[in-house]
Amino acid sequence: MLEVLRRTIVEQRIGIASVSMGLFAVSLIIVHTFRALGGVEVIEAFFEILPEGIKALLRAQGGLATDAEGYLAADYRHPLYLVAIGAYVVGASVGAVARQIERGTVLMLLAAPIPRWRFLAAKVGALAVGIVVIALASWAGTWAGLLMTGLGGVSTIVFLQIQVTTVALAFAMAGIGLLVSSSSSDGGQAMGITTAILVTMYFVDFLSVLWGPAEPFGPLSVFHYYDPLAVSSDNALSTFDLSVLLGVGVIGAAVAFVIFQRRDIMR
């Protein structure tokens, strides 16, 4: 099991490193943009004239906090962050089962005396390591930017809390990906289905914020429970939001274990 875990992390190292470095750089640059744009007064005035659709993307309909912290927190809802994290999670979760079956490598691995659940547990462990590394890289980018700019009034602890919610969101997406992957023998098909589910959820969340009649459907999306700006404003994590995200991840992974344990792995 440990060998499968090690090999999986080695196989994913380029993807993990690429996403981590990319989000580190983006987080670093965003800190610099706060002063470059003219500080909180200019940014608040700018947000006042933004279309409601853009505000909905950032969950900033009520405006930003009156400091740099709110500005930086809102940017963690930017589609760029979500796409980068989602791309890694979808690729890794689909690769855990469906891609292995498609390539036939799963037969070689399971030829060794290792139970299927241990094999999948190693894949999930590698996925968890990647998610945490990427989240820490994003936080490190913000921290480095604060050190370089000397920007005050920003708590690095708050941004660690935001990364906790990011990990929970990524775990929820991974649960969906693992569930789809464990049911498929075609990596491309599993990736398409998982991506379609997540894109639909994102659209539902966006529409529920922007359009009143769609509001009741918002809670059906995992993105509904990811609100970095609220974490910054409240200076605390939402236990309910974390519970929902982790619950989706745990249920998805648990069902994936059951399906993979019982299914025929031949294509």
Over the stretch 211-260, which tens digit does the pLDDT of each residue have? 878 889 999 999 999 999 888 888 889 999 999 999 999 999 999 999 98
Return all residues near 168 (Cβ < 8 A) that are at least 6 apart.
Answer: 226, 241, 242, 245, 246, 249
Burial of 266 (0-12, 13-18, 19+ CB in 10 A): exposed
The pLDDT value given to residue 5: 80
Contact predicate 215/237, CB 8 Å: no
The CA–CA distances, whole Å, from 41 to 34, 35, 38, 45, 67 equal: 11, 11, 7, 6, 9
Domain range list for the chain? 2-262
Q: What is the pLDDT of residues 195-212, one digit of tens each?
A: 999 999 999 998 888 887
For the ranges 105-119, 125-139, 157-171, the lowest mean pLDDT is seen at 105-119
Burial of 125 (0-12, 13-18, 19+ CB in 10 A): middle
The CA–CA distances, whole Å, from 6 to 18, 44, 72, 121, 127 equal: 19, 47, 35, 12, 11
> Buried b vs exposed e over 83-114: b needs ≥16 C-beta within 10 Å?
ebbbebbbbbbbbbbbbbbbeeebeeeeeeee
- The average confidence (pLDDT) of the chain is 84
The answer to whether the predicted template modeling score (pTM) of the entire model surpasses 0.85 is yes
The CA–CA distances, whole Å, from 198 to 130, 140, 182 equal: 19, 27, 17
C-alpha 91/C-alpha 15 separation (Å) is 9
What is the sign of the dihedral through the CA atoms of 202, 203, 207 and 208?
A: negative
**Which tokens hold the place of 6?**
């090690």
The pLDDT value given to residue 86: 93
**Residue that has been written with the tokens 């890289």 in this structure:** 137
